Structure 1
């Protein structure tokens, strides 16, 4: 076994595996074969390989047991709320586990007991991000791949190409020089501070600006600190040391009024997933609106924000779901904190939003075929926030009920994997 290889490194498939993975058209079944190969081909010691073979032999028992425990945990609530009997749930879960390779919990996460979703239950995906991780390791590094992991690099890339993007006030690191004596490093306005390379909304803070006499002061989102400009600069330097990464200081953006009223006043964003195959024009395959909740400044779905399914053709919002909570999660017509109706709202500047991300995907010089774009829709139009090369599946499948397996996603991903390993020099 090679030493010091990245966790997601995989050697090229053997001749037998190439026949399994390449023999059929790239579709959802092909994608699931790739997922099994990724598990099987993980570099292992001989002892670990024996353990993997033992796990494989026991898989019918262990997966059956996991299915039973999952149904026992959540099935009673589904029966009471939705009227779906336990035997039906058990049969459905077993069919997903052994027929589609899904984890048992996916049945409850994606609410596949609902009649509208049950008919396509085997088209949902739950761990295809593993294939994207492997693909990142195999593809040649593009000259602009850094925009996916560095928010400052992404903002600079957008500005260089004339794409609307949030401006930067400062990049504060552990060794960033202090501002000149008497200078104010930030304008007197609300600020958002975020690490340059963390994901899932982690480390995002909101600082509200007010005047104390003639001097601006900033108060953090929890009301725990109240700092003048130089004290805030010092605090951010200390935070950068603690987080071991630079912090990006940006102005607070304000959504279009039709969107702002849906949340808590902090920025809502739209996730648009696009795919591009070869030299073809990119296409949109999934869209969702993310709404921050409570005191959280970030709208991330995994941190308690609402996820709302959005019709890619019209921009019309469906029902919302909050990932945190006990399954089955309720599908919400309104914001549960404010009562504002979400379902049926049509997002403004929708066509301009889609055109922006499609043009951006066309311009980026990267071999990565799938990108999740985060866009803020403001009063005067859309603004790019981030580009994600590992977009999650939950945010686009849980609220909308539209499975990624029913889109071009499996075909594009399988073909990209085939090309990446065919062009490998290993």
Structure 2
């Protein structure tokens, strides 16, 4: 039932979109998701969907009670909308659009201007594990493996002149070391950032600042010499192969927002109808915890929208599950201005991700993590299965409206016309 995300959404999302012809890209995407799920799992899940269609109000009531109890009073105090009114709105959008009570608060659908556009919000599972996977099944020569392997990604971009994080070493689980860039000695004499080859969300990452004389110090104050640090990296790699990269600094204009981490943008690019590549959305991430070494949402990060034309930041927020209606015009720790600030090198940053997408031409969408450093914009990584939650949390217009949805609907329609690729059949052991 991974495609259905029960009991966090109502099962009616698999029914309502099929009952009428879509009038806009968002409706087409909802319909395509329902169609895909039934094609893939119809016979296996039909009974469950029928049963859950009757029982669904019970888990909905629990989830609504859970989130409204924690957040409802704060929303009522800020908006004047009573908790009973919030519950009714949650039920309405859950029944019609399968938006869960949690997402009602995350996307701030208690705001009237957002509630009016509830039908255009794209659910995380519609893309990640849903239509992203459907589109993948139609690709004959997929580059997914390269994007999912950080060492292969670095080599692929380096060969094509795309600026990425300088990556010095790949350390395998057997302790073997592969040099990806030339340098003198055993380890580069510079600040280093170590991360798992296939890690996610900043887990397992370490930053080691060069102290001179062959010594490095980590974020916890531990000091090691070159031999000790290399042995430490090998120990970490015995569980999960590691990469050793340069630990770059944020651009000087952004250091009052960085709080000891390298701030970054998450940017969405999509292949358009003519085969070109467009950057459609961006958010800027910053940390609020001095002890953090990454700016991820679940590591205490805050996020603000970025105007694609100008690079201007909006107010920032956290994930929205603890403090609804709280938006930061200034940084909560440093007091630095956020809203209205214009990111440096913005045009170059947009051009970089569009050029990077062209190096992976089979991808319909890619979610890029990009740092604007003292060396200019640098790509950290590209994400194959990228969702829209951060975008829809920070932008007033849902992802189902605009170029992202228009291009995505175009490619999904074409994918339904094509059969499953040979590469996909081989991967699934069907040939």
| Same fold per superposition (TM over 0.5) | yes
1:326 maps to 322
1:95 aligns with 2:92: yes
The offset of 1:356, in angstroms, is 1.3
The offset of 1:259, in angstroms, is 1.2
1:219 aligns with 2:217: yes
1:153 aligns with 2:147: no
1:311 aligns with 2:312: no
1:209 aligns with 2:210: yes
Deviations 1:333-364 (A, max 9, x none): 12212221211110011111111111222332
1:77 maps to 74
Residue correspondence of structure 1 range 374-385 to structure 2 within 5 A: 374-385=369-380
Residue correspondence of structure 1 range 104-253 to structure 2 within 5 A: 104-127=101-124, 128=126, 129-135=128-134, 137-142=136-141, 144-177=143-176, 184-211=185-212, 215-223=213-221, 225-242=222-239, 244=240, 246-253=241-248
Q: Given the superposition, is the C-alpha separation of residues 119 and 23 from structure 1 closer, same or farther in structure 2, using an over 3 Å criterion? A: closer
Q: Quick one: which of 330, 333, 337 aligns to 2:333?
A: 337
The offset of 1:98, in angstroms, is 1.7
Aligned residue for 2:258, secondary structure, equals: coil
Residue correspondence of structure 1 range 352-371 to structure 2 within 5 A: 352-366=348-362, 368-371=363-366
| Contact 1:274–1:282 (8 Å) recurs in 2 | yes
The offset of 1:324, in angstroms, is 7.0
Q: What is the Cα-based RMSD across aligned positions, in Å? A: 3.0
Q: How many residues align?
A: 404
2:346 maps to 350
Q: Given the superposition, is the C-alpha separation of residues 205 and 293 from structure 1 closer, same or farther in structure 2, using an over 3 Å criterion? A: farther
Q: Quick one: which of 388, 403, 422 aligns to 2:398?
A: 403
Give TM-score scaled by structure 1 length. Answer: 0.85
Unaligned regions of 5+ residues in structure 1, if any? 1-5, 9-16
1:13 maps to none
Aligned residue for 1:309, secondary structure, equals: strand
Q: Given the superposition, is the C-alpha separation of residues 226 and 292 from structure 1 closer, same or farther in structure 2, using an over 3 Å criterion? A: same
Deviations 1:388-419 (A, max 9, x none): 11123222221233310112333433343343
**Partners of 1:284 and 1:272 in 2: CA distance:** 7
Q: Given the superposition, is the C-alpha separation of residues 24 and 118 from structure 1 closer, same or farther in structure 2, using an over 3 Å criterion? A: closer
| Contact 2:268–2:366 (8 Å) recurs in 1 | yes
1:12 maps to none
2:260 maps to 265
**Partners of 1:370 and 1:87 in 2: CA distance:** 39
Q: Given the superposition, is the C-alpha separation of residues 69 and 248 from structure 1 closer, same or farther in structure 2, using an over 3 Å criterion? A: closer
**Partners of 1:239 and 1:329 in 2: CA distance:** 41
Unaligned regions of 5+ residues in structure 2, if any? 4-14, 179-183, 426-431
The offset of 1:303, in angstroms, is 2.4
1:423 aligns with 2:418: yes
Q: Given the superposition, is the C-alpha separation of residues 402 and 25 from structure 1 closer, same or farther in structure 2, using an over 3 Å criterion? A: closer
2:51 maps to 54
| Contact 1:291–1:299 (8 Å) recurs in 2 | yes
Deviations 1:200-250 (A, max 9, x none): 222221112213xxx321222122x321111111111111112x3x21101
**Partners of 1:342 and 1:142 in 2: CA distance:** 42
Q: Given the superposition, is the C-alpha separation of residues 382 and 227 from structure 1 closer, same or farther in structure 2, using an over 3 Å criterion? A: same
2:383 maps to 388
The offset of 1:61, in angstroms, is 5.2
**Partners of 1:279 and 1:94 in 2: CA distance:** 41
Q: Given the superposition, is the C-alpha separation of residues 248 and 268 from structure 1 closer, same or farther in structure 2, using an over 3 Å criterion? A: same
1:283 aligns with 2:275: no
**Partners of 1:38 and 1:202 in 2: CA distance:** 33
Give TM-score scaled by structure 2 length. Answer: 0.84
